[in-house]
A and B are shown apart, each in its own frame.
Chain A
Amino acid sequence: MNALEVRHLKKSFGKVKAVDDASFDVPEGAVFGLIGRNGAGKTTTIRMMMNIYAPDDGEVILRGSAVTEEFKQKVGYLPEERGLYKKMKVWDTLMFFAEVKGKSGKDIEKKANEYLKRFQLVDRKTSKIQDLSKGNQQKIQFIATILHDPEFLILDEPFSGLDPINTDLLRQIIIELKNQGKVIIFSTHLMDFAEKMCDHIAMIDNGKIILHGSLAEIKRKFGNRNVNITYDGNISFLKNNPIIESIQDFGNTTGITVREESQSQELLKLLLENNVTIRRFNANDISLHEIFVRLAGDQNAEVVNV
């Protein structure tokens, strides 16, 4: 069952096609990553999903019917460029953002107090936002995002500009909400984060979705001729070997693609024979980063549907 279905979304600004016929599904209960480099069209896609931008064409379907303005009430949104009213007090800020989502009253006040206590900000209730440190402002922003108990959490580049403590805090929040069965959608250009946290992804490049589906299946599909190794020594002898299709060095690990799936054992033998010390050998494994470089490196890449 899909919670959200994005169908043929298009958006142009003047001559620039920011999003060009984007389609993908976000399943119920998923942690979904919208992945792509800066300027690929992630934020525009997210804004269209939330009805902040009206798409030129296409639609977003929420559990079977087109999204309406009411969808916004079900969403907690953390934009990439975060901001709060500087002169507003902490408590008033939280109540205001809950109220525009249609939530107010004792329950929300109780929850706000709980969150403030948990984030050690309970004594700052009457402080103005501008008097808080940047880290504490971010915490208030998190609380404002989730206070109204949203069914969907949409995070645009959530980890950019966060200090390590807040990065961890946000990760905890995401996991908690995931465990409560909420749908979490985030956009990022950080492949490592996406790989660690997502179970479904859509990859976007130049406004086009070039890949989407479950992360496990994508990795299986792309990983079947791929070997991921960590080693000491020299592997330059592999360069002209007929069984090797490509070699990519990622620093810590190296991704090697062989011509046929069965040749991975041959590759291992070859490495040992040439006195390369193997620390890790992962056949049929591929990082999201490799997939991205492979697909986005090629401008004519076709949409791969898994």
Chain B
Amino acid sequence: MGRTLAEKVWDDHVVRRAEGEPDLLFIDLHLLHEVTSPQAFDGLRLADRKVRRTDLTIATEDHNTPTLDIDKPIADPVSRVQLETLRANCAEFGVRLHSLGDVEQGVVHVVGPQLGLTQPGTTVVCGDSHTSTHGAFGALAFGIGTSQVEHVLATQTLPMARPKTMAITVEGELPDGVTAKDLILAVIAKIGTGGGQGYVLEYRGSAIRSLSMEARMTVCNMSIEAGARAGMIAPDETTFAYLEGRDHAPKGADWDAAVAYWKTLATDEDAVFDAEVFIDANELTPFVTWGTNPGQGAPLGANVPDPASFEDPQERIAAENALTYMGLTAGTPLREVKVDAVFVGSCTNGRIEDLRAAAAVVEGRRIADGVRMLVVPGSVRVALQAIDEGLDKVFTAAGAEWRHAGCSMCLGMNPDQLAPGERCASTSNRNFEGRQGKGGRTHLVSPQVAAATAVLGHLASPADLSDAPQLVEA
């Protein structure tokens, strides 16, 4: 019987298989950042162990880093200690680190792919749930906990139980103005935040094939919000074209051997998935979340739902609580929801294509009075590329703030936070209570919707902009 993409990559990494035991998997790439690694390094030190494969390990600073005044000492003592600890650990154990101020610094899931380290058919782990991002290349990529980080550092392997597989087939063509973010939000709304539990998702179908690498990363990134262990997309010409020439991509004869191998990874025609979901791309529209988990989303053209309309009592209660926290009234058109802030960035939508999309919307326009818009590139490389294309000027001319690379307002761990009660249209991935700052209210959206929302001051798509005030040139 044929095998799926996930099964092929899994099988190629089994170091040891024994009856009644989890498989021992070899890890090709281990990504580190400052938050989940300190106790792992400490564990190594206590047991007098080394990092087995420093040449398969790389670290970057992202969660705690400020996006302003990066040449000044970090003000928050807890953040400073975490960063200093990572620096000391990497120096002591010989791990390559890209610190704040370095040209390769950035959000860990943006840095790995842009260096060409994330490749088809590899296993990638990181002490961070959004490691699923790397699955866009046909890599098997898992988020892991601190004790597992230590395990990988010491052994370059991980004992793991074989996951089940789920096919998410998206056929058709995404309508104009509908993006990968809308697609994945619709998938999560359909299967629920627990729908992917225990599964590796494989996104397939014509709509997925036509996505760029950036867009594929957006989709795989949020697999975790559907509860899945990982998300994957079979590598194809788009993948190869993205990788070719990157720093760590194979060169010469190695490139040919690699491509030949990568081409064997696609799911066999007679392979069987443990579960299947079908989605019609033609029916998708811009999507926004109205609640406090990523599954509480609806088309932008819809109204805030009435909790009473949920049959499941748990969902009804969750919806009631969400509306209270979000300060929303059932029946309000989502387009009438006014925002205080807009955040464009994160490992979901902080890549160059996302910045281009947002810039195209705000170009020649002003963002609405009273709205604060933060644009945060996912990495320094993305920032440099954007500056090269003049995107930073487009944003600042429109009244937005152009910041330094990092996780920024995706989570309340650095100075970029919402004030209590503030409402934000955000291109990030989590809308949990307090995620962007205590009491902050988050609506997850695509970069295009975020930009249109910034211009109009309420949730909106670029299509709503025709009657928006145009900047009059002097």
Q: Do A and B come from one complex?
A: no
Name A's B-contacting residues (CB within 8 A).
none
Name B's A-contacting residues (CB within 8 A).
none
